Amino acid sequence: MSRSPDTLPGQHHYVAPSNEVPLRAVDAVDTEAEPRSLWGEAWHSLIRNPIFIIAGIMIAFILLVALLPGLFTDNDPKFCELRNSYGGPQAGHPFGFDQQGCDVYARVIHGARASVSVGVLTTIGVVLLGGAIGAIAGYFGGWFDSILSRVTDIFFAIPLVLGAIVVMQLFREHAGVVLLVSVMVVFGWTSIARIARSSVMSVKNAEFVTAATALGAGRTTNLVKHILPNAVAPVIVTATVNLGVYIVVEATLSFLGVGLPDSTVSWGVDISKAQSALRDRPTLLFYPAGALAITVLSFIMMGDAVRDVLDPKAKKR
């Protein structure tokens, strides 16, 4: 026991021996370990997040179904026999048959390809178009920013579903995956552009960018090598969540009859066809709608997990 000169009379300061307060394992520093990059640290955190693991397994299974539907069924989704109309589950046909006598299970399995393809291709197009416009507007500023921001505001004022309905109705004879994806990209890039613009504006004045400029880096080099890698995280988070939204938009447009043509096997088309038998055969709606809900939920869960790692401030707001 010892008394510190800073203590008052009657008070004592106790100093425990060092062998009684050993260094905890969590406080130990591995001096030989390689420092992790931003993305390395993000991956290290993600693989320890159970939500990310569950969502990753679900998405991997959905992508497997979309890419290789033959692994899950040998039946042709377009082969229909009227004598099987509204038939119940049978051997090899666990979900029964629809009004036209088509195998519901085969259509649910094969329908994943069209629905997921629309979501993935739309997300890629939106990120490329919106990300480029937002990055240019945020980095160069001035009249670039003024013009591109006004264009963004114009498209932002048009709802995605409403704009897609009008255009798809005008070009209904050319309906297909390519047209639907193109229309959704044209009306859906604005949210990514706004996020990319604000993210680039917050990074371009950082000290490491100023240092790179002082060392002779040009504006294009700064944007591509230093700013975009550090500004892309919010874009990735938003794009991951929006992917599920685009799948829902495809199903909505197909349900309204202006999305993919009836000859295409997709969840939206099957949901549209099932509405005529909703009272008598509700399961015809349940199976494609359930597959759609599970897919959208998995991408939203993935987006939430990625957001918590790459954009922790958004979680606190």
Whether 254 maps to a domain, the answer reads: yes
- Residue 75: φ, ψ to 5°: -80, 145
Whether 106 maps to a domain, the answer reads: no
At residue 28, the pLDDT reads 54
The whole domain housing 62 covers: 43-71+114-314
Total count of domains within the chain: 1
CA distance 224 to 222: 6
CATH number where 261 lies: 1.10.3720.10
Mean per-residue pLDDT pooled into runs of 10, the chain (317 residues): 53 58 53 63 81 92 93 88 83 86 90 92 94 89 85 89 90 86 92 91 82 78 81 87 90 87 87 81 88 92 84 53
At residue 26, the pLDDT reads 47
Whether 177 maps to a domain, the answer reads: yes
Verdict on whether the full-model pTM lies above 0.75: yes
- Write the CA distances from 191 to 13, 31, 237, 295, integer angstroms: 60, 43, 12, 22
Whether 134 maps to a domain, the answer reads: yes
Whether 10 maps to a domain, the answer reads: no
Whether 298 maps to a domain, the answer reads: yes
Whether 85 maps to a domain, the answer reads: no
- Write the CA distances from 151 to 155, 160, 186, integer angstroms: 7, 15, 12
At position 192, the amino acid (one-letter code) is I
Q: How many CA atoms lie within 13 A of 5 on its CB side?
A: 0
Whether 7 maps to a domain, the answer reads: no
Distance of alpha carbon 103 from its chain centroid, rounded? 31
